[in-house]
Amino acid sequence: MYMDCVMIMNFFPVNLDWMRIGAFFFDSNVAVLTDQLSLPIKVPQGVTVETMLRSSGFCILNNIKRGIWIAGISLIISLSSSKLNCRFAFGQFLTLLCFSDLQLVRCPVCNLDTCEGTMQTLDARHVELFLCEEFRNGTWEYKEIACHDIKKHTEGATGGIFDLKHIRDRCTSDILNIKLWSSKPNDWQPKARISLHAVAVNTNLQKNEGLHVKFQVMRDETSGDVVSIRISQQLL
């Protein structure tokens, strides 16, 4: 089972708005992270799924904290010459499951008065993270684990987080096939899809010069478990 999520933008100059995508479940302790939603049709004989994914450019992340994770979208919206500025942002979110559906938070990478909305971030966190004092007081920080540049026009900014154990489940495969759920070419509204063991977002882009893609994680410094994941894309 999966769900489509569409963020309805309010056409006024605002800085950052947050929308919960929903909850998903890590059944294993290995995550698959990607900024390109596509899955090879067949696994070559003698090759494991993990090896196939690594060779296809997917990021494999071990020591994931099992359990319920919450994913959210944050939007920076700005107007330029009475037209919607199609530069975008999904930033960090702060919320508690069952406590809050929507919050406004400060964009972590810009000045409030000059923000043009140039970054998109898919943000997912283990539900128990909000109970940890080290998270609340800022002791635990995000660390970059990988980054790369796409130095050419990109049709869309995409991010996905998947449980490796369920990567070949039907509902997960449907999320990996972005053609099944992405917005129409001239629709600039961000769209997200979530299933029991996966979440993904996509925003169509107008003409651009490429993206800088960054993967970040936050770890429980006591156990070493990954408790939060971010996949960010910034226009070059």
Q: Which residue has the higher pLDDT, 21 or 226?
A: 226
Band the pLDDT of 41: cuts 50, 70, 90. Answer: low
Percent of the chain with pLDDT over 70: 71
d(CA 193, CA 177) in angstroms, rounded, equals 11
d(CA 229, CA 189) in angstroms, rounded, equals 23
List the structure tokens of 33: 């992270």
- Is 161 within 8 Å of 198 (Cβ atoms)? yes
For 23-43, the three-class secondary structure string (H helix, E strand, C coil) is EEEECCCCEEEECCCCCCCCC
200 DSSP β-pair partners: 160, 193
Of these ranges, 93-97, 102-106, 196-200, the one predicted with the greatest mean pLDDT is 196-200
Alpha-helix runs per DSSP H in 67-195: 133-136, 170-176
Domain map of the chain by residue range? 2-235
List the structure tokens of 124: 């997912």
Given a cut of 50, whether residue 84 has pLDDT beyond it is no
70 DSSP β-pair partners: 23, 125
List the structure tokens of 165: 């154990």
* Average pLDDT of the residues in 64-73: 92
136: enclosing H helix or E strand: helix 133-136
* Average pLDDT of the residues in 60-89: 63
Chain segment 96-149, per-residue pLDDT in tens: 232 222 323 334 445 444 444 567 888 999 999 989 999 999 999 999 999 999
213 DSSP β-pair partners: 148, 233
Look up the pTM and report it. 0.77
> For residue 85, what pLDDT is reported?
33
Given a cut of 90, whether residue 55 has pLDDT beyond it is no
Residue whose tokens read 């997917």? 58
* Average pLDDT of the residues in 211-236: 93
> For residue 40, what pLDDT is reported?
59
> For residue 49, what pLDDT is reported?
82
Q: Which residues of 193-221 are buried (b: 16+ CB within 10 A; e: fewer)?
A: bbbebbbbbbbbbeebebbebbbbbbbbe
